[in-house]
Structure 1
Amino acid sequence: MPKISKEEALARRNEIIDACEELYRAESYHDITMTQVASRVSFGRANVYNYFQCKDEILLALLQREHELWAASLRRLEKRGPLDDVDLAEGLAQSVDERTQMLKLLAMNLYDIEQNSRLDNLVEFKHVYGDAMGELCRLIAASKPQWSEERMNRFVFAFMPLLHGVYPYAFHSEKQLAAMEAAGITPPGLTIYDIVRDASLKLLQED
Structure 2
Amino acid sequence: MELNNTRARSPEKKQERFNQIMEVTNDLFLKHSYHDITLTTIAKALNWSRGNLYKYVNTKEEIFLEIYLSKQEEFINSLKESFESKKIDQVYFANKLSQCFDQHRLYLRYHNILATIIETNVSVEKLADFKIKSYKQREYFFELLQIQCPQLSPKQVKMLFLTLMYHACGLDSHTHGTKLLEDAMALANLEIYYDNYCQLMSTFIIMCLNNFK
Q: Same fold (TM over 0.5)?
A: yes
> Aligned partner of 1:189: which letter?
Y
Matched, 1:67 2:72: yes
Equivalent of residue 18 in structure 2, options 13, 31, 41:
13
Q: Contact between 2:112 and 2:166, CA under 8 Å: does it hold in 1? A: no
Equivalent residue number for residue 209 of structure 2: 204
CA distance in 2, matches of 1:3, 1:152: 43
CA distance in 2, matches of 1:19, 1:140: 34
Percent identity of paired positions between Structure 1 and Structure 2: 22
CA distance in 2, matches of 1:36, 1:23: 9
Q: Where do 5+ consecutive residues of structure 1 fail to align?
A: none
CA distance in 2, matches of 1:62, 1:3: 20
Equivalent of residue 148 in structure 1, options 147, 152, 165:
152
Tell me, what secondary structure is at the counterpart of 2:57? coil
CA distance in 2, matches of 1:189, 1:58: 32
Equivalent residue number for residue 195 of structure 2: 190
Equivalent residue number for residue 122 of structure 1: 127
CA distance in 2, matches of 1:157, 1:32: 27
How many residues align? The count is 206
**1:34-183 pair list within 5 angstroms:** 34-41=39-46, 46-79=51-84, 81-108=86-113, 110-145=115-150, 147-149=151-153, 152=157, 155-180=160-185
Q: Contact between 2:176 and 2:194, CA under 8 Å: does it hold in 1? A: no
More RCO (CA 8 Å, sep 6+): 1
Residue 80 of structure 1: how far off its partner (Å)? 6.5
Q: Contact between 2:97 and 2:202, CA under 8 Å: does it hold in 1? A: yes
